[in-house]
Amino acid sequence: MKPGYTGWRHLIHSTRYSLKGLRAAFLHEAAFRQEVVACLLLLPLAVWIGEGPVEWILLAGSCLLVLIVELLNSAVECAVDRIGPERHELAGRAKDIGSAAVMLALALAGLTWGLLAWQKFLA
């Protein structure tokens, strides 16, 4: 982006770059595509499982958090891969830490969905 963009021009350019990033992640990252499909399937269920706006946002937010963390993990992987193809301990550590962040986001989503579904159906 050219320096000096402010106001609406900045917002328009930032939005364009963000959409470009979402498209790139969807085209090049299988895990991101799988998580998008899971979110699209789960979000309608959030309205059915959740009993009010707070539970809806917890369910939807946990899905969106997984996507956000996956995007950040993919960005780390791209940056590390750009540096070079050779194996390096720090490169591997960076990728492993990003993967761990995705795992924790998935665990949080699973816990959120599991507890709220259990409350609705089994309690």
> Which of 29, 55, 70, 86 is labelled catalytic?
70
Interhelix angle 53-83/30-49, nearest 10 degrees: 170
Cβ atoms of 46 and 56 within 8 Å: the answer is yes
Distance CA 21, CA 48 (A): 31
Catalytic annotation present for 70? yes
Burial grade of 35 (CB within 10 A; 0-12, 13-18, 19 or more):
buried
What is the Cα–Cα distance from 94 to 61, expressed in whole angstroms?
26
Which residues belong to the active site? 70
